[in-house]
Structure 1
Amino acid sequence: MARPQLTPREDREVFIVPLEVRPEHIDENDHVNNVVYVGWLQDVGTAHWNARFDEETRARWAWLALRHEIDYLRPIAPDATGVTARTWVGDPQGARFSRYVRIEDGEGRLCAQGVSEWCLVDARTLRPARIPAEMLGPFQA
């Protein structure tokens, strides 16, 4: 059973990433393959991190995806244009936080939504680290 539609929290920035549907994304059912959606969730989260934090911070810290959960609600056609992803983060839970993603077609219709659980790690040692409070600021509205 699909979860209710994800809605961004008012206190969070919604980061928007355009998505390109390429021929290699299309499967034998003539729509975007499920594996592509997983890649999009990861790419969108990474793009948001890269856009909000400087090179020094990104060199010190890294994020590891621990889990992805996706609800597929409407297929995306092979010739789709204007597809976008909207993403925002939840509350930190120690070294982890959830990232929410809505994937919409060119008409703004919800096609898929996902929740990913990410873990902050020291980029050198890959050991988990508690998310510093100041790291949430750039993700807030």
Structure 2
Amino acid sequence: MKKYCKKIVVKPSDIDENGHVNNLRYMEWFVDIAVEHSDSLNVGHVTLQAINRTWMAKEHHITYHLSAFEGDELELCTWIESVKTVQSVRKYELKNITTGKTICEGWTNWVFVEFTTFRPQKIPKELIEKYM
């Protein structure tokens, strides 16, 4: 599986009332990197919309190990773990660059659907090959 990674520097707007990164921000980062990864392979929203297809999240899971704080430099990586006929599991791992420790990890079960009806559709072989 090909990993796609990016660096994130925690901003003040990422912090919640408890003084660490808000739990919802992790989910936003996961979705953002999934989109960036697809765009980098030329199979993002614009490409999929041209064939009347898109991805819909069926299930998200996050395990939190440590907190991240303002100014922390993080590395977020994502990759496709598995592909079935109409579904794909994408994994995520977020690490603190300075300590090397895992902040959180997770996965999303994405379903490939027709854009106008949201009915599941078979994932094209060409699309799978781009991710793998």
- Report the Cα distance in structure 2 between the residues aligned to 1:75 and 1:24, rounded to whole angstroms: 15
Structure 1 residue aligned with 2:27: 38
Where does residue 10 of structure 2 map in the other structure? 21
Structure 2 residue 57 is matched with structure 1 residue 65: yes
Counterpart position of 1:3: none
1:90 maps onto 2:81 in alignment: yes
Amino-acid identity (%) = 26
Question: RMSD over aligned Cα, in angstroms?
Answer: 1.7
1:54: how far off? 4.8
Structure 2 residue runs without a partner (length 5+) = none
Deviation at 1:18, TM superposition (A): 2.2
Alignment pair present for 1:80 and 2:69: no
Tell me the distance in 1 between the aligned counterparts of 2:122 and 2:107: 20
TM-score w.r.t. structure 2 length?
0.87
Inter-partner Cα distance in structure 1 for 2:117 and 2:23:
32
Alignment partner of 1:51 out of 24, 40, 45 = 40
Instruction: Give ranges in structure 1 of 5+ residues lacking alignment.
Output: 1-11
Give a deviation string over 1:37-77, Cα, whole Å, max 9, x none: 11111111111111112576332221111111001111111
2:94 to 82, 103, 124: 103
Question: What is the TM-score when the length of structure 1 is the normalising length?
Answer: 0.82
Contact between 1:50 and 1:58, CA under 8 Å: does it hold in 2? no
What SS does the aligned partner of 1:100 have?
strand
Higher strand content, 1 or 2: 2
Name the counterpart of 2:128.
Answer: 136
Name the CA distance, whole Å, in 1 between partners of 2:27 and 2:20.
15
